[in-house]
């Protein structure tokens, strides 16, 4: 199984394409829960149709919402969810704790935690 949870940056856009899929063992699964456009969707469809991949799960797609006529809907052994993998009680609890911590740090003039590096893009 290959699980993709990378941020979308110039370096990760198109990161998983035909060459990377070919490196997977036959019958592997692909799970993508981060950002669309990291996976080459036509290559994914081809790998599913050929049986190279046993299945895949996408919580993200290059276009969201996914249009009704998108070929991903017809791909075999593919589960598509509506970009909700990050939504859990644990995620919201962590988000609020980081916000609360950073408000206190900001007021005290301290360095914030979990700051995005604008050059890296995450």
Q: pTM here?
A: 0.80
Is 101 labeled as catalytic in the residue annotation? no
The torsion angles phi and psi of 41, rounded to 5 degrees, stand at -65, -40
Contact 30, 56 (CB under 8 A): yes
Whether pLDDT at 30 is above 90? yes
Kindly report, residue by residue over 46-93, the tens digit of the pLDDT. 999 999 999 999 999 999 999 999 999 999 999 999 988 877 778 888
- In 3D space, the residue among 48, 42, 8 whose CA is nearest the CA of residue 24 turns out to be 48
**Residue of 35, 105, 110, 119 marked active site:** 35
Task: Please report the pLDDT score of residue 70 as a whole number.
Answer: 98
Q: How far apart are CA 91 and CA 79, in angstroms?
A: 23
Tell me which H or E stretch contains 57. strand 53-58
**Rounded Cα gap, residues 17 and 104, in angstroms:** 44
Higher pLDDT, 92 or 5: 5
Q: Is 22 a catalytic residue?
A: no
Residue 110: active-site member: no
């Amino acid at each position: 199984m290959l699980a993709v949870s990378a941020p979308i940056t110039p370096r990760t856009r198109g990161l998983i394409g035909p060459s990377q899929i070919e490196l997977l063992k036959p019958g592997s699964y692909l799970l993508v829960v981060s950002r669309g456009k990291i996976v080459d969707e036509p290559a994914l469809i081809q790998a599913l149709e050929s049986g190279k991949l046993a299945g895949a799960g996408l919580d993200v797609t290059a276009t969201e919402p996914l249009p009704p006529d998108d070929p991903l809907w017809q791909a075999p052994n593919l589960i598509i969810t509506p970009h909700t993998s990050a939504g859990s009680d644990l995620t919201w609890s962590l988000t609020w704790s980081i916000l609360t911590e950073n408000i206190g740090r900001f007021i005290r003039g301290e360095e914030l935690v979990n700051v995005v590096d604008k050059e890296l893009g995450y």
